[in-house]
Structure 1
């Protein structure tokens, strides 16, 4: 049994690193088939999860990153979403090899994939009511980035962070399409309050938000927030806490 386990470990080491010694009795040509099959599958899973990052990083460098990840990162699940999530968590180790926006872009792309494959049910749209306790629907993700990740492409690669925080809201709509909204700072702050302390009425959130917009009194702030929350309620982004 011990010899068999040693053979398995040698096989795994060679699969992950083609420069490792061949397992005893294994022909190089046969081993190469397994090496290529395992690595190509893993690289395809990663590439499909991060298409924009893939288009920006040179092909040879991308393959080297995938190979390094395969060698260094233990993987405990064959599910493609878990593999890409492990790659996302590993990526900071090689951040110095990538553009400054790469980590934020990778997170944004992975969240799109996670929302698209989540088995949760999309929250129905509803008519906003100021007396309702509020929360963000399960299929939403509120993000704050230094870079405008939703705009990054081969032709737009910012060299420096934006001058203000970039609030991006990702959500899945009632047709099961993942959408994004770029928010201004104060509406992003409002949703951050709802996310951090769900189950409060709008009056409570306005009281917390008021010190950050002293130029508006409570009625003016309510007038600004109500159309926003009405729109978010109709989209199923913000929902009444009792309805979840």
Structure 2
């Protein structure tokens, strides 16, 4: 590409993203540049609004637009795919954008919570070979790649225009999000034991017995007491499709 053309394109891109900081390239009518700015920003804002409706309604139009403008002008996405734009917005907020721009402290977690549903709907991850009827206690339980245990400091499932807490509760929000065979994404709350077990299954490959023994040690409970309850929990998770069986 000729150097002059490259320079013009870069100047145009900078101006379209942030006209306050970047002068327009010479030789292009201001009216046309305004159309480009409106078109590009409108597409990004529309995609984000569809992915984060709770954040949009909670912040209100002025703060929402200002936030999207900062993201649009300053953040350098790592992918050109529109289907991954929501994930880039989450990364932008997780890097401290909400703190830098005096936005609610729960914003990054709420964004992740809203992003999860779309991410699971679009996921093409497949399970490794497994035995659906395997022994969950002495075999290695396999967590479905479409079942994600989540923990949030803020009550993300309750936050909205009418409830915006200023202080995080003492207990975290422990959730399970999964995509079922009917391609619907479902959220459910988890008890601390269930969340700890799923987190352990996600982190390492061990037998169900080993997972439960480590949990018993962590909570200072005799493993013989926890094993029956833990096995019942494993079987229940398999019945829901959260566990696919055991690895082979």
Is the pair's TM-score, using the shorter chain for normalization, greater than 0.5?
A: yes
What is the Cα deviation at residue 242 of structure 1?
2.2
What is the Cα deviation at residue 154 of structure 1?
2.0
- Identify the match of residue 220 of structure 1 among 215, 221, 225: 225
Q: What is aligned with 1:2? A: 3
Q: Is the 8 A contact 1:126 1:236 kept in 2?
A: no
Aligned positions, number: 241
- Identify the match of residue 214 of structure 2 among 208, 213, 216: 208
TM superposition outliers: structure 1 runs of 4+ over 6 Å: 122-125
Give the TM-score, by structure 1 length.
Answer: 0.89
Distance of 2:124 and 2:219 partners within structure 1 = 38
Q: Is the 8 A contact 2:131 2:246 kept in 1?
A: no
Q: What is aligned with 1:141? A: 148
Shift of the 188–203 alpha-carbon distance from structure 1 to 2, 3 Å rule, reads: same
Q: Does residue 95 of the first structure (1) align with residue 90 of the second (2)? A: no
Which structure 2 residues correspond to residues 107-122 of structure 1 after superposition, within 5 A? 107-121=112-126
Q: Is the 8 A contact 1:165 1:185 kept in 2?
A: no
Which structure 2 residues correspond to residues 1-244 of structure 1 after superposition, within 5 A? 1-19=2-20, 20-91=22-93, 92-96=95-99, 97-121=102-126, 126=132, 129=135, 130-198=137-205, 200-214=206-220, 216-242=221-247
C-alpha root-mean-square deviation of aligned residues, in Å? Answer: 2.2
Distance of 2:209 and 2:176 partners within structure 1 = 23
Structure 1 residue ranges without an equivalent (≥5):
none
Q: Is the 8 A contact 1:125 1:235 kept in 2?
A: no
1:198-229 Cα deviation digits (max 9, x unpaired): 2x222111210112333x53343122222322
Q: Is the 8 A contact 1:140 1:172 kept in 2?
A: yes
Structure 2 residue ranges without an equivalent (≥5):
none
Give the TM-score, by structure 2 length.
Answer: 0.88
Q: Is the 8 A contact 1:128 1:229 kept in 2?
A: no
What is the Cα deviation at residue 125 of structure 1?
11
- Greater shift after overlay, 167-176 or 78-87? 78-87
Q: Is the 8 A contact 1:128 1:233 kept in 2?
A: no
1:91-127 Cα deviation digits (max 9, x unpaired): 1432222212111111111122111111235899945
